[in-house]
Amino acid sequence: MGKRVLAVASGGGHWQQLQLLRSGFSHHDVLFLTTLPGLPEQVGALPAAIVPDCSRDEKRAIVACTLAIGLQILRHKPDVVISTGALPGLIALVLGRMARARTIWVDSVANAEEFSMSGRHARRFADLWLSQWEVVAEAAGAEYAGALL
């Protein structure tokens, strides 16, 4: 088996976009993390774990999410952490970087004019920082490798 990968995304569009990257993980030991129970089972993204969702306005939820992701990083010991967003994905990148994993941020295709807030913060922690819009990548100094949708 290849590298240990932690693939993290909040529910909804972030999760859908992460699933479009799955073929790139096929030769690796992947653990999927998301915030909505049942999502991994719907698409066969297993093994998986559910972590609490959070937003910047919910301090207690941020703490709970950080602890849950930290525990998964300690258990899985990823070589690579990849996320398509949102805040739980940013938390995973920060903790992954602290654990010396390589980190990848793919900003959501929904952000057609500028990076998301989490994406802007991810810049400091991402070894590979991507936008799905060429003009956004160019303006921000990120990389562009195409769009998922």
Model confidence over 87-114: pLDDT tens digits?
999 999 999 999 999 999 999 888 889 8
pLDDT tier for residue 86 given thresholds of 50, 70 and 90:
very high
pLDDT of 119: 94
We find that the CATH architecture of domain 4-144 is 3-Layer(aba) Sandwich (3.40)
Percentage with pLDDT > 90 across the chain:
91
pLDDT of 56: 93
Q: What would the pLDDT profile of 108-144 be if each residue is shown by its tens digit? A: 888 889 899 999 999 999 999 999 999 999 999 999 9
pLDDT of 66: 98
Work out the mean pLDDT of the chain and round it to a whole number: 95
Q: What would the pLDDT profile of 45-63 be if each residue is shown by its tens digit? A: 999 999 999 999 999 999 9
DSSP codes joined into one string, the chain: ---EEEEEE-TTHHHHHHHTTGGGGTTSEEEEEESSTTHHHHHT--SEEE-----TT-HHHHHHHHHHHHHHHHHH--SEEEEEESHHHHHHHHHHHHTT-EEEEE--TT-SSS--HHHHHHTTT-SEEEESSHHHHHHHT-EE-----
pTM: 0.95
pLDDT of 109: 82
